[in-house]
Amino acid sequence: CRIRHYHFNVVVKNATKLCSTKPIVTVNGKFPGPRLYAREGDNVLVRLTNHVQYNVTIHWHGVRQLRTGWSDGPAYITQCPIQPGQNFLYNFTLTGQRGTLLWHAHISWLRSTVHGAIVILPKKGVPYPFPKPYKEKVIVLGEWWKADTEAVVNQATQTGLPPNISDAHTINGHPGPVPNCSSDGISIGPYTTRVPFDHNCKNRNFLRFVNADAHTLHVETGKTYLLRVINAAVNDELFFKIANHNLTVVEVDACYTKPFETDTLFLGPGQTTTALLKADQGIGKYLIAISPFMDTTVAVDNLTGIGYLRYNHTLAFTPTTFVALPAVNATPVTSVFSDSLRSLNSKQYPANVPLTIDHSLFFTIGVGINPCATCFNGSRAVAAINNVSFVMPTTAILQAHYYGINGVFTDDFPAKPAIPFNYTGTPPSGLQTMNGTKVYRLAYNSTVQLVIQGNTIIAPESHPTHLHGSNFFVVGRGVGNFDPEKDPLKFNLVDPVERNTVSVPTAGWTAIRFRADNPGVWFFHCHLEVHTTWGLKMAFLVENGKGPNESIEPPPSDLPKC
Site residues, ligand C2O (CB under 6 A): 59, 61, 74, 104, 106, 270, 466, 468, 523, 525, 527
Residue at shortest CB range from ligand C2O: 61
Instruction: Give min distance, CB of 374 to ligand C2O, in A.
Output: 28
Instruction: Give min distance, CB of 527 to ligand C2O, in A.
Output: 6
CA angle 25, 28, 30 (to 5 degrees): 70
Residues making up the chain, counted from first to last: 562
Please say which residue, 294 or 528, places its beta carbon nearer to ligand C2O.
528
Please say which residue, 215 or 468, places its beta carbon nearer to ligand C2O.
468
Neighbours of 373 (CB within 10 A): 7
Please say which residue, 59 or 513, places its beta carbon nearer to ligand C2O.
59
What does the alpha-carbon distance between residue 533 and residue 104 come to, in Å, rounded to a whole number?
A: 16
Instruction: Give min distance, CB of 462 to ligand C2O, in A.
Output: 17
Q: What residue type is assigned to position 497 of the chain?
A: V
Please say which residue, 272 or 433, places its beta carbon nearer to ligand C2O.
272
Residues pairing with 209 in the sheet: none
Please say which residue, 75 or 201, places its beta carbon nearer to ligand C2O.
75
Residues pairing with 226 in the sheet: 136, 276
Q: Shortest CA distance to 68 belongs to which of 47, 37, 44, 49?
A: 44
Instruction: Give min distance, CB of 255 to ligand C2O, in A.
Output: 16
Please say which residue, 67 or 537, places its beta carbon nearer to ligand C2O.
537
**SS3 of 200-266:** CCCCCCHHHCCCCECEEEEECCCCEEEEEEEECCCCCEEEEEECCCCEEEEEECCEEEEEEEECEEE
- For the chain, the 3-state helix, strand and coil shares in percent, each to the nearest 5, are 10, 40, 50
What does the alpha-carbon distance between residue 503 and residue 168 come to, in Å, rounded to a whole number?
A: 22
Please say which residue, 92 or 311, places its beta carbon nearer to ligand C2O.
92
Instruction: Give min distance, CB of 44 to ligand C2O, in A.
Output: 17
| Max Cα distance, the chain (Å) | 70
Instruction: Give min distance, CB of 277 to ligand C2O, in A.
Output: 26
Helix (H, G, I), strand (E, B) or coil at 191: helix
Instruction: Give min distance, CB of 443 to ligand C2O, in A.
Output: 23
Instruction: Give min distance, CB of 60 to ligand C2O, in A.
Output: 9
Exposure string of 72-85, with b = 16+ CB inside 10 Å and e = fewer, is bbbbbbbbbbbbee
CB 382 within 8 A of CB 535: yes
Dihedral sign, Cα of residue 65, residue 393, residue 539, residue 160: negative
Please say which residue, 74 or 189, places its beta carbon nearer to ligand C2O.
74
Please say which residue, 61 or 64, places its beta carbon nearer to ligand C2O.
61
Instruction: Give min distance, CB of 15 to ligand C2O, in A.
Output: 22
CA angle 395, 401, 405 (to 5 degrees): 60
Please say which residue, 44 or 325, places its beta carbon nearer to ligand C2O.
44
CB 272 within 8 A of CB 240: no
Residues pairing with 230 in the sheet: 140, 272
Please say which residue, 103 or 209, places its beta carbon nearer to ligand C2O.
103
Q: Shortest CA distance to 198 belongs to which of 306, 321, 284?
A: 306
Helix (H, G, I), strand (E, B) or coil at 530: helix
Looking at residue 321, what DSSP letter applies? E
What are the φ and ψ backbone dihedral angles of 141, each rounded to 5 degrees? -95, 140
Instruction: Give min distance, CB of 465 to ligand C2O, in A.
Output: 10
Instruction: Give min distance, CB of 112 to ligand C2O, in A.
Output: 13
